[in-house]
Amino acid sequence: MNLSSSNRTRIISRRTILVGAIMAIPFPAFVARMYYLQEVLGTRYKKMAEQNRVQIRPIRPERGVLFDRQSQVLARDKPSPRLVIIPEQCPDPKGVMEKLSTLIPLSKRRKDDVLEKVKYRAPFTPITITKSISFKDVAKVQLNQPDLPGIDFVDIPLRHYENGESTGHLLGYVGRTDDYKKDKAGVKGWAPDFPVGRQGLEKLYEDELGGRPGFIHHETNAVGRPVRVLQRQEAKKGDDLILTLEHNLQNYATKRMTGKVGSVVLLNAKTGGILASVSTPSFDPNDFAEGIDPKSWSALLNHPNKPLLNRSFQGTYSPGSTFKMIVAQAALEEGLTTMDETFTCSGHMQLGNRKFHCWKKHGKVNLLDSIAGSCDIYYYELAKRLGAKKIAAYARKFGLGERSEIGIPEKSGLVPTPEWKLVNRHERWTTGEDLIYGIGQGFLLTTPLQMAVMTARIATGYDIKAKLLKKYEDVETQSTPVHEGYLELIRQGMFEVVNGRKGTAKNARRRGMTIAGKTGTVQVVSERIEDDVDMNTVPLKKRPHGMFVGYAPFEDPKYVVSVVVENGGSGSGAAAPVAADVLKKAVEVLG
């Protein structure tokens, strides 16, 4: 059957449309696939190729320098030689390592580790043999370098602390911190071997001291060898910081505490600037610069005298008789005693069926006598009249029970109240606890730093706060919210402690300077140690802590000190002489 021309045309058109439709069905998928390959995967593969072609090497920034108030360097980065081997320059790595081990100490394990890395590292990549090397060993290697092909030195900056153990607790140390680098990786480009502050001021001011890393973009060949620099951005050095510390005073206080366990805190009485903060025993932060070895770290952790504990900020102690000034101020302000009222000390006070002892029989005692002779009976009486709540309120006015605003980890201590005991001990407060509160014992706990701040507020009448950065010393200070006239009486009592006939701190007298202060002897065991007992016969850990707080010169207070000597036996014998010497040194150094 013959089809007409028009019918044949229609059939061809339908077939064309059908074929076209069939071919058009996969076209969107084809377009989508092309877009995915070219745009999505293309960008990824281009990035991967670029990464293979371009090597990014971070540049470590120099950390900021820590200065004392006299612009003396306390901590800075110093170049330290590191011994490396470059495999492509060393035809016989094993032989070279053997010869090297005859010149400097190298363990078999270290040699094997280096030789293993030689096998799989790129031949042009330096491999570290020693983290650091003494200059004596540097000289030995350099002398024999013609026989040691491939051995070279690389200088790396290491954190160096000029005063070592003297400033360990305060400045802290640097080291690796994976969490920090994880946080900073996208922002600052921190590399795994870049050090960051781990403790103390190094950690507190990491953002200022750490600086900003730079980088170098290298174009590399097929085996990863850099062939040219594409881009370079220099690292930015960290900011320098000037501290309130005075290095001579810090070192002197450390030396004065040699062989003792305890703390010395020396403040500028007018500004609160910390001139010295010593905690003994201490540790050398230089040991952490390249990572402390496990044996040394274990020795620090397990040492019975806890050298890692910053006693000035984190040690908590009953203040003992150094707290009596606060009780006296509270009783005077509350109208519960006068400077002329007397109590008779017979050596003990009876409360119910319990005796509360004094360390000696003082006879008739007034306010100045009670401070000078440190009569417990006098303060038992005042505490009974005041009660715990009023004592606590005045303690807080003098800075006890609260942390400073410095930022270094510290304990807040404890200023207890009846409410605190009910919540935390599920027991009611007793009158007997009022009495021992009055002589600075019981639940009351303070830090040496708080005791120094307390003394500064007594000495000046101002609301002194501790500071560690010199730029904050100029901050205006308000008056302490207490009666200045009564503070004058307390100061006179502290003068009598050192200079009076009945004073307990005659050991703190120094020629050419008038010191005022207060001793404290704090029992550390429940059984009472009588005053006439020879302390040499008492086991060391059962001996009382010795304490002293004071200031000088008495006429115009410039310096304040608090000293704690753990198991020192007494405040007058152990702590007062140290405090007096440190105050005298402060006047000699700073005027």
Identify the three-state secondary structure at position 589: helix
Give the model confidence (pLDDT) of 436-474 as tens digits.
999 999 999 999 999 999 999 999 999 999 999 999 998
Q: What pLDDT score does 58 carry?
A: 79
Give the model confidence (pLDDT) of 148-158 as tens digits.
898 888 888 88
Mean pLDDT score, 403-430: 95
Among the residue ranges 127-141, 229-243, 554-568, the one predicted with the least confidence is 127-141
Give the model confidence (pLDDT) of 330-342 as tens digits.
999 999 999 999 9
Q: Which of 90, 81, 96, 79 is nearest to 125 (CA)?
A: 90
Mean pLDDT score, 96-116: 88
Instruction: Determine the Cα–Cα distance for residues 531 and 369; give it in Å rounded to an integer.
Output: 19
Give the residue, 270 or 524, on which the prediction is more confident: 270
Does position 188 have pLDDT exceeding 60, yes or no?
no
DSSP-assigned states of every residue in 322-389: GGHHHHHHHHHHTTS--SS--EEE-SEEEETTEEEE-SS--EEE-HHHHHHHT-HHHHHHHHHHH-HH
How far, in Å, are 83, 134, 185, 346 from residue 139 at the CA level?
12, 9, 38, 75
pLDDT grade, residue 186 (50/70/90)?
Answer: very low
What are 176's two structure tokens?
Answer: 């690796």
How far, in Å, are 155, 320, 526 from residue 87 at the CA level?
19, 67, 68
Does position 126 have pLDDT exceeding 70, yes or no?
yes
Mean pLDDT score, 366-388: 97
Q: What pLDDT score does 190 carry?
A: 62
Q: What pLDDT score does 157 carry?
A: 87
Instruction: Determine the Cα–Cα distance for residues 551 and 39; give it in Å rounded to an integer.
Output: 76
Residue whose structure tokens are 């207070």: 557
Ranges assigned E (strand) in 506-586: 516-522, 545-552, 559-565
Does position 125 have pLDDT exceeding 90, yes or no?
no
CB 514 within 8 A of CB 495: yes
Instruction: Determine the Cα–Cα distance for residues 243 and 250; give it in Å rounded to an integer.
Output: 12
SS (H, E, C) 395-447: HHHCCCCCCCCCCCCCCCCECCCHHHHHHHHCCCCCHHHHHHHHCCCCCCEEC
Distance between the two ends of the chain, CA-based, in angstroms?
Answer: 130
Give the model confidence (pLDDT) of 272-310 as tens digits.
999 999 999 999 999 998 888 889 999 999 999 999 999
Residue whose structure tokens are 């043999």: 129
Identify the three-state secondary structure at position 468: coil
Q: What pLDDT score does 59 carry?
A: 80
Does position 42 have pLDDT exceeding 70, yes or no?
no
Give the model confidence (pLDDT) of 465-507 as tens digits.
999 999 999 888 899 999 999 999 999 999 999 999 999 999 9
Mean pLDDT score, 96-122: 87
Mean pLDDT score, 221-245: 84
